[in-house]
Chain A
Amino acid sequence: MSFDQMYREVILDHYKNPHGHGVIEDADAEADGQNPLCGDEVSIYVAFGDDGETIDEVKFSGRGCAISQAATSMLMDMATGRTASEVATMDKDELLEEIGIPLTPVRLKCAMLGLTTLKVALHKAKGTPLPDGLAGFDELELT
């Protein structure tokens, strides 16, 4: 694989100019996620529309590699306008298709950090299902 195949233009664009980067004060839902492998951190903030279900605005802050930042940036676009339960059941392949590059297991964790954290935020606010691998966690362990 060449550098260009790995770091497609669209990945670099999202990395350099991330969509939905920032903080929502008084967010309806929020969560912090960490990738213990590299110490990366992301916080996700959600504001629902008047129906209390549809994601009106979603933002993220934190630090991470190009893959994690670009994937989270793409996710912000994908999640806006969907309901909490739609996002909670969103398949990871949908995001992976958007990213569009082959990822090793380690980089897969980078790519999934935003989606996992968003699902945790929605779970805490709306009781939607937790993402795979976190199911069975005690509420108190989720930050």
Chain B
Amino acid sequence: MTRVPVDTATKLDARTLRADFPIFEQEFHGKPLAFLDSAASSQKPRQMLEAMNRFYETSYANVHRGVYELAERATEGLEHARERTRAFLNAPTTREVIFVRNATEAINLVAYAWGFWNLKAGDLVVVTELEHHSNFVPWQYIAGKTGAELRLLPLTEHGELDLSGLDAIAREGNVKVVATGLVSNSLGTINSLDKLVPWAHEQGAIFVCDAAQAAPHMKLDVQALGVDFLAVSGHKMCGPSGVGVLWGKAELLQKMEPFMTGGHMISSVRADKTTWGELPHKFEAGTAPMAEAVGLGAAIDYLEAIGLDKIHAHEQELTEYALGKLSEVPGITLYGPPPDRRAGIVSFNLDGIHPHDVAQILDLSGVAIRAGHHCCQPLMHKLGVAATNRASFYLYTIPEEIDQLVDGLHAARKVFA
């Protein structure tokens, strides 16, 4: 049985949890690694890596159709992971839990298999200025192909969604899709969907939620959120790369055309006609990311044993600490909402120093941050910058890493003085 850290204290102990992550055993440029890029992808706990390894070593065969015991064991592994994922999302049934490569593929699945067949001229697809390209480009592309039009919900000065224009949008056409992220990967904004989801449904639209940046940090409940589709990436939440999840309402999934066709997703294949398999298999063409799904299940075990509430609280504490320390750095511009309304993500710019140069100097100080547009070019355009620096925190982040970041920023200012 995997050892998972059960923390009965009120707060999580990042220092202890850090020992679960082999990556921190190394030094970079002679300094301990301050890894402040978890929003791009999280580091991996030993428990998850061991679960994948164990699956390969003891239970590996192709799933579903094998009649021998080993294949059954592999199928059990995959389906157990599906059940863990269902419970994690509070989905009503595992039939609605589809394994894909990542959140981008999940959203493309909906854009192609729902959008391509249901959108037409006069229809509107509503996204936001805050979206990651993963929840922007597929809609822009499918809208363009079907003659539908894209509308962007603007942001307030704090980087939060401005919903004042909803009525005006509704008058412009038939709103068919509303696609919104739950947590911004750039600014860390936690979007409230309380108003937006009912509005979408009043318009007769489907609501597609990109939860890739939310799932690592907060308890998700697809039924409470009221959305129709929700996308998650395993690699951001202590799981492996190569597996993500699309959750969708069965009634919608059932009516949809397939996304990819081929092996496994069929019911029967004749020379003149093929019929599709049952959910979720209809949307899982080809050999599944089996070991990766097992890894995702183990990552969910890991996160739930710690407690997502504790992870969230830890990150907010760090964000408050970071915003306080960073605001004392001369020439800094901080973007995004106050700490209580954001996840553990801080975007900033240093006056006169390009983010690439900041990130390079930080790297030489052992600090890993992201510099660039964070796959959010519409947002960068809105902020009037080409790029920002982004530091992001996770359950294993300790305050010393933020201190190391601030020291590095002072060094960058000295180089460019």
Nearest-neighbour CB distance to chain A for B349, whole angstroms, equals 12
Question: Using an 8 Å CB-CB cutoff, how does the interface string of A1-31 with B read, 1 for contact, 0 for none?
Answer: 1111011000010000000000000000000
Do the beta carbons of A39 and B380 come within 8 Å of each other? Answer: yes
- How far apart sit A37 and B372, CA to CA, in the bound complex (Å)? 7
Interchain CB contact (< 8 A) of A40 among B29, B364, B386: B386
Do the beta carbons of A38 and B355 come within 8 Å of each other? Answer: yes
Minimum-distance CB pairs A-B, first 5: A65-B356, A65-B354, A39-B373, A39-B386, A38-B372
Nearest-neighbour CB distance to chain A for B7, whole angstroms, equals 38
Can you name the residue of chain B whose Cβ is closest to the Cβ of A63? Answer: B386
Known: A3-B411, A12-B416, A63-B386. A38 touches B360 (CB 8 A): no
Interchain CB contact (< 8 A) of B361 among A3, A40, A63, A107: A3
Which residues of chain B are near A110, meaning CB under 8 Å? 356
Q: Can you list 20 A-B contacts with CB-CB less than 8 angstroms, sorted by A residue number?
A: A1-B364, A3-B361, A3-B364, A3-B415, A6-B360, A6-B361, A6-B364, A7-B361, A37-B372, A38-B356, A38-B386, A39-B372, A39-B377, A41-B386, A64-B356, A65-B357, A67-B356, A68-B356, A107-B356, A107-B360
Which residues of chain A are near B357, meaning CB under 8 Å? 7, 65-67
- How far apart sit A110 and B411, CA to CA, in the bound complex (Å)? 22
**Chain A interface size, under 10 / 10 to 19 / 20 to 34 / 35 or more:** 20 to 34
Can you name the residue of chain A whose Cβ is closest to the Cβ of B374? Answer: A39
- How far apart sit A6 and B416, CA to CA, in the bound complex (Å)? 12
Can you name the residue of chain A whose Cβ is closest to the Cβ of B361? Answer: A3
Which residues of chain A are near B360, meaning CB under 8 Å? 6, 107
Known: A1-B364, A39-B386. A65 touches B416 (CB 8 A): no
Known: A7-B357, A64-B354, A65-B355. A39 touches B364 (CB 8 A): no
Which residues of chain A are near B411, meaning CB under 8 Å? 3
Chain A residues within 8 Å of B, Cβ to Cβ: 1-4, 6-7, 12, 37-41, 63-69, 107, 110
B109: Cβ under 8 A from any A Cβ: no
Which residues of chain B are near A65, meaning CB under 8 Å? 354-357
B387: Cβ under 8 A from any A Cβ: yes
Nearest-neighbour CB distance to chain A for B364, whole angstroms, equals 6
Nearest-neighbour CB distance to chain A for B109, whole angstroms, equals 24
- How far apart sit A33 and B353, CA to CA, in the bound complex (Å)? 21
Can you name the residue of chain B whose Cβ is closest to the Cβ of A103? Answer: B360
Which residues of chain B are near A68, meaning CB under 8 Å? 356
